Each structure stands twice: as C-alpha cells, then as structure tokens.
Amino acid sequence: MIYTDPVAAAPAFVSALERACRILILSHINPDGDAIGSMLGLGHTLRHSGKEVFMVASSALPDYTVFLPGISDVQVYEPQQGLPEVDLIWLVDTASIERLGPIYHEHAPTLTACPLVIVDHHVTNNGAGLVNLVVPAAASCAELLFSLLTAMMLPIVPMAATCLLLGLTTDTQSFQTSSTNPQSFRVAAELLEAGADQRAIIESVYYATPYSTLQLVGLALCQMQREGDLLWTYISQDMLQQTGAEDEAGDDVVRLMQRTAGTRACVLFKERANGEVKISLRSLPGINVARIAQTWGGGGHEQAAGATLAMDLGTAQREVIPLVQATLNQQRQV
Ligand SMILES: [Mn+2]
C-alpha cells in the first residue's frame, strides 16, 4: 500500500510498529544530511517509545553530521558485515531498495524476507514496502517523517528534532530549493518548538568549511572563464595535491558559480586521478543539461547533471563548451 498523506498513513505505520520490537533503519548509499538526519531522528523517536533500534549507514557519513546527538550509534556498513536480527526494517529517503548499495547487494534475501516500511520523497519510488509513505512534493524526507511521527502520536524529543531539522535544512539548502513549500517552514517552526538546536546545525553545515577547501575554491575561481551567460572552470589533480582538498570541495566551486549574476549555465571540469574528466553541469529551468551529459553516457536532472569523459582537461573543455553554448542559443530562440 502506498500512502501519499502522512495522516492517512499513520494507522498503518502504528500497526506495523506494534508487531515489532527490534527495528533496523537504513538509507541510501553516499548518505546526505536528509538521509542521516531522517535515520537518526526516527531512531531517537522509536527508542523513546521503547523500541530497540539499529541504524546502519550504507557508506561514510558527511562531515557536517558528526555533531548530531547519538551519531555514534549509527554504524557505517563494512563489506561482508552481518546485519542485526530484527523484526522490522524501516527505509528512509531511499528511492529504491537497490539504492542501499552494498547492504542490498550482500543481504538481498534477508532484506526481502523481513517486513519493510518506507518513508520517502523521491518521485521514482515505486513503494516496495509493506507500508509506504511516498510524497514527492515534500522538500525533505525529514519533514515528511515529522508529519508522520506526529500523526502517530509519537513525541519528538529535542535530540530527534535537531536531527530532523538538519535533514530539512540541508535538503532545502536552507529553504532555497524550488521544492521548499509552506509545509517545510511549518515543520521547521515545530521542530524549533520541539527543542531543535538550530545554532549547532548552522555552525556545522555553513561555518565549518576546511581551510583546504577554500584554498582550492580560490584556485578554481582564478581559472574561471565566462562567455555570455555561461561560466566554467576546472580542478586539476595538481590543484587537489597543492591544497590537500577533498574531492567534494568541487561542490563549493559549483555553488559559487551558480550564484554569479546573469549566469544561466555553468560547468565544472574535474580531473580524476586516472586522467579522466568528470563534468558537473548546472542550469536554470528551460535549459536541459541532462541531455548534454547523455552525450558521454552520463545523466541526472534537467538542471543538474554529470558525466565522465575519457579525455584530458583541455580536450574536454573544447568538446563540452560548444555544446552547452549551442543549448543556450537554442533556448534563446524559443
Ligand atoms: Mn532527501
């Protein structure tokens, strides 16, 4: 059964929970703030209601989640690791069970044998659980979970509120994404009233950038080029070694390019250790960069896409930039 309204879904979740004592909470590979915030927010809430809770992340946690209360209870999955014996599995923020990555690949029979419930906001979720709550209009899984848990009459303790607010804050990029809606603000207000530590979230998400990241951003911005409403730059292996920055530092470069006035599309070219080039494309609505990424077997969303090109940095720029320019020109004519 797939529910699209948390209030309508609550009784089904209550009865699934009544029959369970030991619950395993899982989420997608390469977990983001919404995956971990939802997992841990739910974990605190279920523990408070007397359940035994296990939480296993499919791969390493993002740095900005390590301050969350109870984060040491979230295990990071290691290959060949066993899963705890439970009588209910609860998936959060995960479009499909395959998105559990190695946990799915190594434990598919166990996972499919155990009762499964799902709360998610991905439009592609097909509701593989016994009970599913899937609301694509929700800006974050965390806010959807809050509405469900509240409708289930489960109290949200301050620790849970902090975790859920982190999920809501990161998935909406602080209420900036187009999916942010009145309900996101309402839930945020209720989470603050429930005792969420908003200050700690802001500190951790926005004011804890590693020095090496800023140095890399500086180098990449120095190389930035502009033609009309298109911006692009690159990150070479040299630049990564020189600064000691992590690969994710590229995300900050992309975000800064997007913020430039008059920009309708931008591209980051990132040289991989094996000499290949990963491109990240961003655009305003109406400009489909996923189609450009598909040229090299990549993909993504219309406004955010990527691909990996088996060529050097210079060649990649000469191949990709004219294609983006053509797409921008096309759009200008319609
Ligand atoms: Mn999410």
What percent of the chain has pLDDT above 70? 100
Ligand 1 centroid to Cα of residue 117, in Å, is: 17
Ligand 1 centroid to Cα of residue 2, in Å, is: 18
Ligand 1 centroid to Cα of residue 318, in Å, is: 35
Ligand 1 centroid to Cα of residue 139, in Å, is: 7
Ligand 1 centroid to Cα of residue 134, in Å, is: 12
Ligand 1 centroid to Cα of residue 238, in Å, is: 34
pLDDT digits (tens, 9 = 90+) for 203-217: 999 999 999 999 999
Ligand 1 centroid to Cα of residue 170, in Å, is: 9
Ligand 1 centroid to Cα of residue 321, in Å, is: 31
pLDDT at 72 over 90: yes
Domains and CATH numbers, the chain: 2-206 (3.90.1640.10), 213-333 (3.10.310.30)
| pTM, full prediction | 0.87
Q: Using 50, 70 and 90 to split pLDDT, how confident is the model at 334?
A: low
Q: Which two tokens stand for residue 75?
A: 């295990």
pLDDT digits (tens, 9 = 90+) for 141-172: 999 999 999 999 999 999 999 999 999 999 99
Ligand 1 centroid to Cα of residue 141, in Å, is: 5
Ligand 1 centroid to Cα of residue 15, in Å, is: 25
Q: Using 50, 70 and 90 to split pLDDT, how confident is the model at 226?
A: very high
Ligand 1 centroid to Cα of residue 268, in Å, is: 24
Query: Could you tell me how far CA 33 lies from the centroid of its own chain?
Result: 6
Pairwise CA distance, residues 103 & 27, whole Å: 10
Which residues hold their Cβ within 5 A of ligand 1, which is an ion?
34, 93, 141, 171
**Cβ-based neighbour number of residue 112 at 10 Å:** 12
pLDDT digits (tens, 9 = 90+) for 82-92: 999 999 999 99
Ligand 1 centroid to Cα of residue 171, in Å, is: 6
